[in-house]
Amino acid sequence: MTTRDRDAGRIVLVINSGSSSLKYEVYEMPRERSLGKGVVERISQSGSFLRQSGWNGTTEIVRDAPDHGTALTMMAEALTDGRNGILGSLDEVWGVGHRVVHGGEKYAESVLIDDAVIDAIEENTELAPLHNPANLMGIREAKRVFPGCPQVAVFDTAFHQTLRPAAYLYGLPRALYEKYRIRRYGFHGTSHRYVANQAVRFAKRSIDNTNVISCHLGNGASITAIENGRSVDTSMGFTPLEGLMMGTRSGDLDPSIIFYLLERGYSPEDLNRMFNKESGLLGLSGISNDLRDLEEAAERGDRNAIDALDVYAYRVRKFIGAYAANIVKVDILVFTGGIGQYGTRMRERICNRLENLGIVMDYRKNLENGPREGIISKEYSPTTIIVEPTNEELQIAIDTFELGDRTVA
């Protein structure tokens, strides 16, 4: 492996390995500069392809990818493509960071990957059966392709391991927690950690004495209360289904609804599909899970679209109020994610009626700011409202660089 001088930068490759896709991005650290990114789609399906864009142009490969090993090989080929590649050689890769969905109760921070970490990810497969196996395939193949590089696991759940029992325990028999590990885990932790730190810097404050409510609003959505840099409550729970109403997920509901529908002929599979893929904005509106479509329909006076938008905003506002009560003071309210960053009208809906909590939006600033990083609250607002684009890939690159640097320091 080529040794790179610290001042010349180190190349970190970030990999997000899903069940049928593999996304990746290349960063020069510590400058935090993205050199390019790509994705392999339809792994183990017909019509597989790779698309990559970077400083040197774009690359496309159309080829069957029956497994993640083939996908990694396609990625390596694209990265070093003689015409439009991002790197001159794979030897330039100094470290590899992996997004891993579930770390269970074992990991409260990102870690260098060794056999014990791989075993732990496997043990938590029952908690994330759709994601952890795919994450593991990406790790194993990356260790094959980049054998001399530090490999780091960055867990979606790790940031929320600072929750107290009052926040993570359910009102169920204790034995269910002790035997089956049923508790609140929370997700989107990498995004919440990133935007909270960025928003605090933007506001010229210190994370050590700042309380933040972070709203990651997209097709998947969650809210996290952060006290002095530590997650103390979050809306997603044992799975990502709990909490806010989302694009296609129901969010919180009365558990008795499940039994009611089972008695009327719905199967567990029917309900699982309904609550995860046919509910939320899509199910309530009957139109779409895309906020833009619903905004257009609402403009035309569609009652179902109006209701869906109102329910979405109401539930977000309710969580903000609950978290404000528990963390006593809210210094920063941050919006991120596809809806949080781009949905100016939804931000307005949410913040309307929060003035009694000291969260006072400047509606003109909100419209003018749009999706950019910026402050959208009144100057006299006790709580600063900030729009902060998320960048989970960069956070993974930062963690990988910091952990890998310790091994060679």
- Of 156, 233, 331, 362, which residue is the catalytic one? 156
Q: How far apart are CA 242 and CA 229, in angstroms?
A: 23
Q: Is 5 a catalytic residue?
A: no
Could you tell me which of 82, 92, 120 has the C-alpha nearest to residue 28? Answer: 92
Backbone angles phi, psi at 86, to 5 degrees: -90, -30
Dihedrals phi, psi of 247, to nearest 5 degrees:
-60, -50
Q: Which residues contact 403 (CB under 8 A, 6 or more apart)?
A: 110, 111, 112, 150, 152
List, as one string, the DSSP characters of 194-222: HHHHHHHHHTT--GGG-EEEEEEESSSEE
Q: What are phi and psi of 236, to 5 degrees?
A: -70, 155
Single-letter amino acid, residue 310: D
Per the CB < 8 A criterion, the answer to whether 186 and 232 are in contact is no
Task: Give me the active site residues, please.
Answer: 156
